[in-house]
Amino acid sequence: MKLVLIPLILIITQFAYAQKSCEDTSIKVMVIDTGITPTKYTRKYIAESTVSENYHDVNGHGSHIAGIVIDGNLEKGSVPVCDNVKLYSCKYFYPGEKVELDETIKCFNKAIELKVDFINYSSTGPDPDPSEQAVIQKASDLGIIIIASAGNESKNRLGYPAGYDIENLIAVGNMNYKGEISPYSNYTGGIVYDYGTDILSNDQYGIPLKMSGTSQAAAMYTHRLLLKKCNKMQKETINTLKSKDTSDIVSINGGSNGKSSSRNTSIRFDWTGRLISESDF
């Protein structure tokens, strides 16, 4: 009996240690948007200190995006991210007020302060801004991956912040489930495309709602990156039973975002949305 019990105890101890290591390693993602009203899909992921006390979403856009970041497309067999993920909300939009770039910059600074792993920014503006570019560059230099929507103007250009030439900034265009670029998506060389047409998530009231755009495509891409990092971290925890630095699981190599078609990324979808390079994973 002793010969059986001793290895069994060791196995149980190792499993408990692996489980604890997994629980102690959070993957932080910030959604900079109109806020997040918790739904049954996102509630358990929202961080206790979710940046702003007034993160309640009265617009609905931010809640829809957050749902995609956590679950993907609810209509297409969604796969929730792992419990390690901590979801942070920071608002750049308040009802009755003009959208100010200063609020966006504050949110990026807050993300840096919180040492998040990913930032989803499903919004665009027409013009670059030096202060915005500087704070995003700082986030990138610290290893934060920023996923930004390309814009919905049907133009061969990118909106901002997606258009900045920054290493860890990923610009995402919209395609449908046939692998066709959406007619209203911005397009240019060196960006990625993900599904962003008729994506089912929940609004601020928890009501199922389909929305389309590069905002949804960016959130889908963020969801994919979270799943990849979850999978990588869990495998490492189980196989090695010790912590490893996974801050560089996703690395985006240099190049020009929208200024040249030669930009190289380590993660890229072909026209059908299939990952064709996964060397960093």
118: helix, coil or strand? strand
Measure the N-to-C terminal CA separation of the chain; round to a whole number of Å.
43
- Residue 53 confidence (pLDDT) above 80: no
Burial of 276 (0-12, 13-18, 19+ CB in 10 A): exposed
pTM recorded for the entire structure:
0.77
For residue range 54-70, what is the model confidence (pLDDT) as tens digits?
678 989 999 999 999 99
Residue ranges with strand state E in 127-198: 145-149, 169-175, 192-195
- Residue 274 confidence (pLDDT) above 80: no
- C-alpha count within 13 angstroms, C-beta hemisphere, residue 132: 22
C-alpha to C-alpha distance for 193 and 217, rounded to whole angstroms: 7
Q: Is the dihedral of CA 181, 118, 99, 164 positive or negative?
A: negative
Return the axis-axis angle of helices 101-114 and 130-141, rounded to nearest 10°: 10
C-alpha to C-alpha distance for 167 and 188, rounded to whole angstroms: 17
Cα 101 from chain centroid (whole Å): 21
Q: Amino acid identity of 200?
A: L
* DSSP codes, 15-84: HHHHHHHHHH--EEEEEEES-----TTTGGGB-SS-S-TT---SSSHHHHHHHHHHH--GGG---PPPTT
Query: Which distant-in-sequence residues (6+ apart) come within 8 Å of 19 by Cβ?
Result: none
Q: What is the mean pLDDT of the chain?
A: 78
For residue range 229-251, what is the model confidence (pLDDT) as tens digits?
999 887 776 665 444 443 333 32
Per-domain boundaries in the chain: 26-277
| CATH number belonging to domain 26-277 | 3.40.50.200
Query: Which distant-in-sequence residues (6+ apart) come within 8 Å of 64 by Cβ?
Result: 201, 202, 203, 209, 211, 216
C-alpha to C-alpha distance for 263 and 275, rounded to whole angstroms: 17
Which helix (DSSP H) or strand (DSSP E) does residue 87 occupy? Answer: strand 85-91
The proportion of the chain whose per-residue pLDDT surpasses 90, expressed as a percent, equals 60
C-beta of residue 204 within 8 angstroms of C-beta of residue 49: no
Q: Amino acid identity of 88?
A: Y
Q: Residue 28: name the closest of 77, 101, 82, 91 by CA.
A: 82
| Cα maximum dimension of the chain | 73
For residue range 138-192, what is the model confidence (pLDDT) as tens digits?
999 999 999 999 999 999 999 999 999 999 999 999 999 999 999 999 999 889 9
